[in-house]
Amino acid sequence: MPPTFLIFLGLIVYIGLTVLTLVVFAPMLLIDTKKLLAKKVLATVLISFPCLLAMGLLCVIIFVIPALIFFWLANSGYIPRTPGIVLGIIGALTFAISVASTSLYLWFFMSNIIYQRLDKKPISEFLDNDNVFKFLRPYLIKLKLYNPAY
């Protein structure tokens, strides 16, 4: 099984879910009273897999050096077999949980920003109430990824 099999399997599920959503909600785009709901559902479904891929890539970048060091220590005999297996399972679970939780939050965050745009409300209304964004705001400003003037 190639290492990209799970990504390919996720893509197949994503395409199937997208087609099913289009079949159900695309006709709703023709009804004026349901157009906003259809746009929100379609946008939510369309950003789900890209959020998973983005956060998966970010977590891979963060976890690759510790994983390579652990792999080297385990294969060189510095870590005994049984504790190595336990630490490997803990590391894999930590990686999976971090990818899942961060991708779900990114999905929630991006969906709410899209909903604010579709409802023609200011995005700052959502950003001012989001606790994670409040925590990250000073770091985003310092890294010049967020400009509070906009």
Around 89, how many Cα atoms within 13 Å sit in the side-chain half-sphere? Answer: 5
The residues spanned by each domain of the chain are 1-46
Model-wide pTM > 0.75: yes
Provide the strand spans (E) within 16-127: none
Name the phi and psi angles at 121, rounded to 5: -105, 155
Q: How many C-beta atoms lie closer than 10 Å to residue 56's C-beta?
A: 20
pLDDT of residue 119: 93
Distance of CA 10 to CAs 84, 87, 108, 146, Å? 30, 27, 19, 31
Per-residue pLDDT of the chain (150 residues; tens, 9 = 90+): 677 888 888 889 999 999 999 999 999 999 989 999 999 999 999 999 999 999 999 999 999 999 999 999 998 989 999 999 999 999 999 999 999 999 999 999 999 999 999 999 998 888 888 898 899 889 988 988 888 776
Name the phi and psi angles at 77, rounded to 5: 90, 5
Distance of CA 102 to the CA centre of its chain: 5
SS3 65: helix
pLDDT of residue 1: 67
